Amino acid sequence: MTHRLEMKQMTKKYGEFTANDQVSLTLEAGEVHAIVGENGAGKTTLMRMLYGMEQPTAGEILLNGKPVSFRGPNDAIRNGIGMVHQHFMLFGEFSVAENIVIGYEPKQAGFFRRKEAVEKVSALSEQYRIPINPQARVSTCSVGEQQRVEILKVLYQGADIIVLDEPTAVLTPLEVKDLLQTIRNLAASGKSVILITHKLQEVMEVSDRITVLRGGRVTGTVSRHETNVDDLARLMVGRELEELSQRIPLEGKRLLHVDQVTVREKQTLLDNVSFAVHHGEIVGIAGVSGNGQSELLQVISGLRPVQAGKIHLAGADVTNKSVESIRQAGLAHIPEDRYMWGTAKQESVEENALMGYQRKPDYYRRGVILRDAFRQVVRGWVDRFAIKTGSRQLQELAGNLSGGNLQKLIVARELGQETPLLVAAEPTRGVDIGAMEYIHQALIEKRNSGDGILLVSSELSEILALSDRILVMYKGRIAGELARSEATEEKISVLMAGGNVHGSDQRAV
Amino acid sequence: MELLDWSLISSTIRMVTPILLAALGGALCARVGIFNVGLEGLVLVGAFSAIVGNHFTGSLFLAILFAALVCVLFSLLFAYMTIGLRANEIVVGVAINFLALGLTTFALRAIFGVKGAFYDKEMAGLPKLDIPVIKDIPVLGDIFSGHSPLVYLAFIAAIVLYLFFYRTVTGFRVLAVGLSPVAARSLGLKVTGLQVLAITMCGILCGVAGAQLSLGQVTMFTEGMTAGRGFIALVAMMMGQSHPLGILASSFLFGLMDALSIRLQGLSLPTQFTSMLPYVLTIIAMFFVKEKSQAGGRGQSSR
């Protein structure tokens, strides 16, 4: 029997390093096949070989039983393989229809028939029940809409096999639901979907079969009905996951006090926000992104001024103070966007690690940074967090690290500050299960040692696992507060959508 | 002599031509993501080669063709260094400018054996085109009729470029390359090919711009005769947001300043002062030029 796609014994070596070691995979028509694995397990390499972006060292790709070899994405597209990249490949200034037809534009004598493009795109959108507005500018579309544009683009290009690379990483819970429905619709209409992810819940919800990769090898191919999240996690990590440490009950003093803070630009971004974080407490902030969480973090860490209200940290007034003086008052910050706020991509791992330490007396004497002394510390972090820095080790450019490894570096750096307050925004975004476990453990330990943590995350599971108290933000306000004991995913979701939960009084500190 | 009359507009149209052509060329480069500072040098090379072509062939048509050809060669050098060798485009552009200045001065002596300027009274300049019907209409005729063919070509070029960008498939892809080379490459678009195409077209436009300078406005070549018009074209391009019709408007403004500065000399203002006008406007314009890339198209970075 021939499969729609068969990858046989695929091996890819980069010098000494084997990224894929005899990986085999089959895909049937109408099947959703998930490929799961930690960062660096070889998922991306495998897909790059399928998409013609990398040439395999050994192995064979059979398409409907016939061997094929692709020299570039063009070959793959022509053979009915489409890829939706994790970072969208869209043109913000073009319309939705233009983005979908680009490369295969309907034309007449060299002139672009935009009307026909809109018609074709509308028809496609109806056929696969993927709603979009063909004439909207892509830059005005939400992330979920942009992803639908990407999916329609590969369908327009005639793909029978659709590869989705970490598609849910950027979506809100509601958008994830829509996407999973879309994936099922596609499979029902005979398309085959390869889903690359490390979110096991979603895998269990939507896929027919699951292939698990670890360290470049297949550690198992299972049918969804024969497995569960725990088994998959074990296959991915190669060991049992450990339970998080017990949280010691602590009654600490007030550490951070945000008092009626208001931020107004063209519109009100933060509206009279008040809350407190105590010593020995993790306060989680949930909310659909864009409801003021980013602004709140920036205000607390000194990146954005407030128009009204006060912020006190460890007894000192830090309202509208500089980042440096707030950090000195006792704040460390894992920023939400690691590239924009967290690192300098063009600098080395060591220099990135040094940021924030350059004036500490241990590493600084008479205007000179004591690099040797500091290097020992960085090596310690790299070992402890198992940060893969690449061939040049500490001198590797930060931009060459994978997102997960860069995130670990930032987490290590900010934990190393040993400040009473840690502001952690999306601390595990893009990191794999093993590292996530480690970061969560480190946060719990910090809490147990009597420090306070303000956690902002779009992952409800993360908020629920770590927080002592949960605040939900909606439209720049604190829409509700839930104690750990009463918090459920349902209650938080309702608050996130602007609803009301009975039994949650709106305590303001 | 009056400060403002209809002939001022007529001379504006004449002055605007080289700026407009070069700015359109610059816009082509900008639209594929390359900031071409070398416009000044390219126009200068065009001006010189037009004279050379005219001198040796005696044909104005061949002279313009020769100017365009030499400029294409120069811009291919620019393309090779910026795209092929991945050199910094600003540095390469500046190098092109100095190369052009030195090379034309040197060639002036080597070919014609003169210093400073070359003038031959036997040599014919570009003819004036009288447009039937319009030339007989009182004011319009004075303004729009009786220019060199290249003047009309420049305005046609602006419209053609507009149609190219916003109506044709190739133009659409050119715009795509400039907006996001990474995305364009992932779609299998020929990014390098489209970039070279745009730079080549820029060379043609700059060559024609130079020909208008040395054969249309005067019939001679002087060292460094572009006198910063290539840089003004760069500003016109930015002010016009690299949009052909926007450039048409902004080039007009600079052409008007150019014409006005000549007119003011007639009013016994010092030449040195009046010739500052276009450049003063350039500086003022810089206050209003906003980096377009920051304005829009950032939707996809909202992760």
Residues A253-281 have pLDDT tens digits of 889 999 999 998 888 889 999 999 999 99
Confidence of residue A501 (pLDDT cuts 50, 70, 90): low
Give the model confidence (pLDDT) of B126-160 as tens digits: 888 777 777 777 777 777 777 888 999 999 999 99
**Residue A92 touches chain B, beta carbons under 8 Å:** yes
Say if residue B208's pLDDT is above 90. yes
Mark out the alpha helices in A417-457 (DSSP H runs).
Answer: 433-448
What is the secondary structure of B106-172 as a DSSP string?
HHIIIII--SSEEE-TTS--PPPBPPTTGGGSHHHHHHHSSB-HHHHHHHHHHHHHHHHHHHBHHHH
Give the mutation candidate from B164, B173, B187, B301 for the A interface (greatest A CB count, under 10 A). Answer: B187
Contacts of B27 (CB under 8 A, 6+ apart): B161, B237, B240, B242, B243, B244, B247
Report ipTM for this prediction: 0.80
Query: End of a domain among A187, A206, A237?
Result: A237
Residue A242 belongs to some domain of the structure: no
State the total domains in chain B.
1
Residue A307 belongs to some domain of the structure: yes
Nearest to B170 among A72, A110, A146 (CB): A110
Give the mutation candidate from A54, A93, A99, A113 for the B interface (greatest B CB count, under 10 A). Answer: A93
Residue A502 belongs to some domain of the structure: no
More confident residue, A313 or A401: A313
Indicate the average pLDDT of chain B: 86
| Predicted local distance difference test score (pLDDT) of residue A1 | 65
Residue A508 belongs to some domain of the structure: no
One domain, residues A94 and A144: yes
Nearest to B169 among A89, A105, A138 (CB): A105
Cβ–Cβ under 8 Å, residues A221 and A61? no
One domain, residues A312 and A224: no
One domain, residues A229 and A262: no
The amino acid at residue B298 is R
One domain, residues A281 and A386: yes
Which range, A29-43, A387-401, B274-288, is most confident? A29-43
| Predicted local distance difference test score (pLDDT) of residue B224 | 87
One domain, residues A285 and A194: no
| Predicted local distance difference test score (pLDDT) of residue B290 | 59
Query: End of a domain among A184, A204, A237?
Result: A237
Give the model confidence (pLDDT) of B59-91 as tens digits: 889 999 999 999 999 999 999 999 999 999 999
Residue B98 belongs to some domain of the structure: yes
Nearest to B298 among A112, A139, A143 (CB): A139
The residue segments making up the domain with residue A92 are 5-237
Say if residue A374's pLDDT is above 90. no
* A112–B168 C-beta distance less than 8 A: yes
Q: Give the count of beta carbons closer than 10 Å to the beta carbon of residue A418.
A: 12
Q: What is the CA radius of gyration of chain A?
A: 24
Residue A15 belongs to some domain of the structure: yes
Residues in chain B with CB shorter than 8 Å from the CB of A105 are: 169, 172
> Of A162-166, A387-391, B2-6, B119-123, where does mean pLDDT reach its minimum?
B2-6
| Predicted local distance difference test score (pLDDT) of residue B30 | 94
* B167–A85 C-beta distance less than 8 A: no
User: What average pLDDT score do residues A172-178 get?
Assistant: 80
The residue segments making up the domain with residue B206 are 18-118+127-227
* B300–A112 C-beta distance less than 8 A: no
User: What average pLDDT score do residues A454-477 get?
Assistant: 90
The amino acid at residue A311 is I
Query: End of a domain among A189, A210, A237?
Result: A237
pTM of the model: 0.74
Residue B149 belongs to some domain of the structure: yes
Strand arrangement, sheet containing A5-14: A17-27, A5-14, A58-63, A66-68
Residue B249 belongs to some domain of the structure: no
Nearest to B300 among A90, A112, A337 (CB): A90
In a 13 Å sphere around the CA of A373, the CA atoms on its Cβ side amount to 11
One domain, residues A288 and A427: yes
B230: Cα separation from own chain's centroid? 6
* CATH number where A358 lies: 3.40.50.300
- Min Cα distance A115 → chain B (Å) is 12
Give the model confidence (pLDDT) of B7-35 as tens digits: 788 888 888 999 999 999 999 999 999 99
* A77–B179 C-beta distance less than 8 A: no
| Predicted local distance difference test score (pLDDT) of residue A455 | 94
Residue B134 belongs to some domain of the structure: yes
Residue A378 belongs to some domain of the structure: yes
Say if residue B4's pLDDT is above 70. no
Indicate the average pLDDT of chain A: 87
Looking up tokens 């942009």, which residue turns up? Answer: A146
Say if residue B282's pLDDT is above 80. no
One domain, residues A168 and A283: no
Q: What is the CA radius of gyration of chain B?
A: 19
Say if residue A27's pLDDT is above 70. yes
- The residue of chain B with its CA nearest to that of A340 is B301
**Residue A146 touches chain B, beta carbons under 8 Å:** yes
* A73–B186 C-beta distance less than 8 A: yes
Residues in chain B with CB shorter than 8 Å from the CB of A112 are: 167-169, 171-172
Residue A243 belongs to some domain of the structure: no
User: What average pLDDT score do residues A141-154 get?
Assistant: 90
Tokens standing for residue B260: 């006005």
Residues in chain B with CB shorter than 8 Å from the CB of A138 are: 299-300
Say if residue A56's pLDDT is above 60. yes
Give the model confidence (pLDDT) of B90-132 as tens digits: 999 999 999 999 999 999 999 888 888 888 777 777 888 777 7
One domain, residues A25 and A119: yes
**Residue A123 touches chain B, beta carbons under 8 Å:** no
